[in-house]
Amino acid sequence: MNDKRMTPKIAALQKAIEEAHVNIKEAHKDMSPEDIDIYHEIMEKMTPEMLTLKKIIDESHKSVKEASDILSPEEMQTYHEIMNEKYPHGTDDPHHGHHGH
């Protein structure tokens, strides 16, 4: 597209949208029609508050993963040792767990 109004930022937006479509289509590929129906039923029941909670949980998982990916295996081991000493019986937080390590 050689439209003179197509700035690099607008082109980047278009590319991101195209990639999102491909990713969504790819994700659907592995789902049965029943799964897709169930997904749509769940999404219809989702309130804005539920969607906000899901977004916050997803963002939190992403930031925890990014932070843990930076650690070396030794640092991760040290982290778990510190947590085990601090919380010998585990934490009361149901979301606290081993994040992919």
Question: Could you read off the pLDDT of 29-42 as tens digits, one per residue?
Answer: 989 999 999 999 99
Q: What is the C-alpha separation between 29 and 10, in angstroms, rounded?
A: 29
Share of the chain above pLDDT 70, in %: 87
Q: What is the pLDDT of residues 50-88, one digit of tens each?
A: 999 999 999 999 999 999 999 999 999 999 999 999 998
Q: What is the C-alpha separation between 8 and 16, in angstroms, rounded?
A: 12
Give CA 29 to chain center in angstroms: 19
Mean pLDDT for all residues in the chain = 89
pTM: 0.52
